[in-house]
Amino acid sequence: MEEKSVCGKALGVLHKAKPYLAVVCLQFGYSGMHVINAVTLKRGMNHYVLTVYRHVAATLAIAPFALVLERKIRPKMTLSVFLKIMLLALLEPVIDQNLYYVGLKYTSASFASASVNVLPAITFIVATLFRLEKVDMKKIPSQAKIIGTIITVSGAMVMTLYKGPIVDIFMASRRSHHGSDFSNSSNQHWIVGTLMLLSSCLGWSAFFIVQSFTVSQYPAELSLSMLICVMGVVEVQPWPL
């Protein structure tokens, strides 16, 4: 009986920890994505082409699950929902990702990954401006959000204005190689690249806000993601590929 009780508690803890473990795994996926994107762009691929390929692959990956798992719960498409999907596709695949790719090309994978940390602060500011987030200075949660926003924005500004020396943590035999990479990266437009990354975060935060309204009208998340990817491919096509 005691063993069953212990196993039950362990399963309960694991079940509660699933969302946090999923977020941690997602961060590993993001880190790999930053590196692969940086290598792809710096080898000459056009960022519009990369956006199209990425969303075609995402559509093919999501479509089977969306069509099978949500066939009974998928609501009817309305003009209001369709317009919101078009706006979401414009904000995320077209604006957000292309600005991100330009910023990534001008900076580096680690820099781009770090700059994305300002996203919650930008989302909080935008949500507050549109009165979607209530701020009460007398309450601790609101104070924590404001302090966190100031810290993240300040960190982003420091990253923009100051690019410190390289930290050599590799073997001496590799120093010449990384030294040449650093000399090349020092010639890039770091301020412009950082501004592109921050603008990308602004588009991403707007995407989150519009998405919250859309999900309430179209509560089929996989189908919604698939449609956003499809519309993203369509909307990127008119741009110079």
Residue 8: pLDDT band with limits 50, 70, 90: low
Domain ranges of the chain: 45-236
Q: What is the pLDDT of residue 86?
A: 93
In our burial notation (b when 16+ CB lie closer than 10 A, e otherwise), range 174-198 reads eeeeeeeeeeebeeeebeebbbbbb
Kindly report, residue by residue over 67-123, the tens digit of the pLDDT. Answer: 999 888 888 899 999 999 999 999 988 888 889 888 888 877 777 777 777 777 778
Mean pLDDT for the chain overall: 78
Q: Secondary structure of the chain: what % helix, strand, coil (to 5)? A: 80, 0, 20
pLDDT score of 176:
45
If you ran DSSP here, which 8-state letter would residue 241 be given? -
| Residue range 44-54, pLDDT digits in tens | 888 888 888 88
**Residue owning tokens 């498409």:** 77
